[in-house]
Amino acid sequence: MVKQKPLEEGERGVIINISSITYQYGQTGNVPYSASKGGVASMTLPMTRDLSRFGIRVVTIAPGLFESLSAIINERMKQKLISQIEYPARFGKPDGEFNKLVVHLIENTYMNGEIVRINAGTRLGKL
């Protein structure tokens, strides 16, 4: 990326990392997963500081519960998880809501060094 010809305002691209809302809120029985997602989230600002001088932005998305998860869990667990979601009380849509956020982050050149949660107000905790 550093060797690319810069676009307007000197931008050479954007790195979008994927974390999870568990980086901040944790979830019972998911210590390793939460810790790994916390590591991804923690890289955001240092990477921003290291790469901004080259015109490279860094943004992290911390998604909540999406339909991809609902395909691998049973109905009881699905309902338990949905009860943790504020509004709309359903799993997110990867092909609509998540993808639109990615496009927005690519197009919005002022977004840099941020962790963006997309979770319908979900705060996973004790299940």
Residue 66 pairs with which residues in a beta bridge?
92
Task: Please report the domains of the chain, with CATH numbers, ordered by start residue.
Answer: 13-118 (3.40.50.720)
Residue 126 has pLDDT above 80, yes or no: no
Residue 124 has pLDDT above 80, yes or no: no
CA-based torsion, 48, 109, 65, 126: positive or negative: positive
Instruction: Please write the tens of the pLDDT for every residue from 12-59.
Output: 999 999 999 999 888 788 899 999 999 999 999 999 999 999 999 999
Residue 68 has pLDDT above 90, yes or no: no
Answer yes or no: are the C-beta atoms of 125 and 26 closer than 8 Å: yes
pTM, to two decimals: 0.90
pLDDT at site 29: 84
pLDDT at site 49: 98
Please identify every residue annotated as catalytic.
33
